[in-house]
Amino acid sequence: MSKTDETKALWESAMMPVYAPETTITSGKGVIVRNSSGQSLYDFTSGIGVQNVGHCHPKVTEAIREQAAKLTHCSNLFANEPAGKLAAKLVELSGLGGKAFFCNSGAEANEAAIKLARKYGAATGGRYRIVTMRQSFHGRTLATLAATGQSWCQEGYDPLPAGFAYADFNDLESVKAAVDDDTVAIMLECVQGEGGVTPATEEFIKGVRTLCDEKDMLMICDEVQTGMGRTGTWFSWQGYGVEPDLFTLAKALGGGLPIGALVSNAKCADVFTPGSHASTFGGNPVAAAAALAVIDVIQSEGVLENVAKTSALAFEAFQAFVDKYPKLLEVRGKGLLIGIAVDGDPKPVVEAFRDQSVLVLTAKGNVVRIMPPLTIKENDLVDAIEMMSDALDCLYGEE
């Protein structure tokens, strides 16, 4: 048995069986990962939307190395420099004039948003309900599971926390119908990721903003998957011409290290008061240093411009796939968060791509989800598209 087969065996024998990895990844560099058999693969999962600047970007690695030798943790009883700088940077990039709170994951960031909304609601007429969207995904803690508008991940966990109501995505009338006098917030993803790679219409997002303004409700954007440039702007709400009251980040923020953030506008900046919320590791200096390096890379290497360029190329190529193969129904998404809807199970497509050395994901609703690192070069993208094209020829037979 090879060393890395042993790794997979340990996962099976000693780890709770919530994951089913098919292979062990041993290293990553840019858009490429290497597995235990020594194969190089294009990572068009980006570690599920985490490696937006690619695996082991030298600037991120160096920032982690430097901070790890200086201070790895001091608790929030004391200030640390990277966290303070990161908060200021996120507030600046958002233009919302508010403040940030740090935690360690997407679920925790959304949990913080839910708690902040409840605290705001308690102070403004005793409101507590939060309207979320069907097919949304907000995380796996009990509250964020309740906020998630999909039943497959909720089964077996009753009773879930009360205070959530669901509306249909892209249907403003449905949202209006779900709002009542107890409702304090509307929470949504501008592009639903996990739920099927479905972008909101501009009309819908603007309508939600207006509704929130009319009823003094908070608009919460979950940017855990769409944030940090994934859809072509720093945060996906910036592509819709609106400003949320709160938004959440995690996945790509730390360039591979665990960190989550809740960012507010000025109105919500001081709703949390000393002691009213906290996280031991929140604002960890190493994770924050990594996040500062990620932001520096996105800014200094023209990453958002690269998303625009490579996204256009990818959409064109995938549309050609859809035109060629009747089993492929539609391409949708934004930036480099792209879904291809399949007639039937998307898994054979994922497996065919993997057999040609391109790793991709699925999303709910028969969707193949494609998320390359945002730093991908055009020639690598063209190369991978060629491999995917071969894979589809193998799977569906050449016409």
Ligand X SMILES: *Cc1c(COP(=O)(O)O)cnc(C)c1O
Residue 79 CB, nearest approach to ligand X (Å): 25
- For residue 68, the surrounding DSSP H or E stretch is helix 58-68
Residue 214 CB, nearest approach to ligand X (Å): 26
Nearer to ligand X, 28 or 258 (CB): 258
In degrees to the nearest 10, what's the CA dihedral of 111, 115, 121, 126?
110
Give the residue from 100, 31, 57 showing the smallest Cα distance to 380.
31
Nearest residue to the partner ligand X, using Cβ: 106
Amino acid, single-letter form, for residue 156? G
State yes or no: is 3 an active-site residue. Answer: no
Give the residues lining the site for ligand X (CB under 6 A). 105-107, 110, 137-139, 189, 193-194, 222, 224-225, 250-251
Give the residue from 357, 377, 392 showing the smallest Cα distance to 43.
357
Give the HSE-up count for residue 294: Cα atoms under 13 Å, Cβ half-sphere.
35
Residue 240 CB, nearest approach to ligand X (Å): 16
State yes or no: is 222 an active-site residue. Answer: yes
- Complete edge-to-edge strand list for the sheet that includes strand 40-43: 25-29, 32-35, 40-43, 358-359
Residue 147 CB, nearest approach to ligand X (Å): 9
Nearer to ligand X, 110 or 135 (CB): 110
Rounded CA gap, 348 and 242, in Å? Answer: 39
**DSSP three-state, residue 247:** strand
Residue 294 CB, nearest approach to ligand X (Å): 16
Residue 286 CB, nearest approach to ligand X (Å): 17
Nearer to ligand X, 103 or 384 (CB): 103
The single residue of 44, 101, 102, 137 carrying the catalytic annotation is 137
Rounded CA gap, 235 and 253, in Å? Answer: 11
Nearer to ligand X, 253 or 352 (CB): 253
Q: Which residues lie closer than 8 Å to 392 by C-beta, 6 or more apart?
A: 321, 324, 325, 328, 349, 352
Nearer to ligand X, 43 or 222 (CB): 222
- For residue 333, the surrounding DSSP H or E stretch is strand 328-334
Residue 154 CB, nearest approach to ligand X (Å): 14
State yes or no: is 137 an active-site residue. Answer: yes
The single residue of 102, 204, 222, 321 carrying the catalytic annotation is 222
Rounded CA gap, 394 and 342, in Å? Answer: 16
Rounded CA gap, 198 and 338, in Å? Answer: 9
Rounded CA gap, 95 and 260, in Å? Answer: 19
Residue 90 CB, nearest approach to ligand X (Å): 17
Chain centre to alpha carbon of residue 364: 15
Query: What separation in angstroms does the CA of 272 have from each of 211, 269, 277, 278, 348?
Result: 24, 8, 7, 10, 47
Nearer to ligand X, 286 or 392 (CB): 286
Rounded CA gap, 264 and 278, in Å? Answer: 16
| Strands 198-199 and 191-192, bridge-based pairing | antiparallel
Nearer to ligand X, 86 or 361 (CB): 361
Q: Which residues lie closer than 8 Å to 108 by C-beta, 6 or more apart?
A: 139, 141, 250, 260, 279
Q: Catalytic residues, which ones?
A: 137, 222, 251
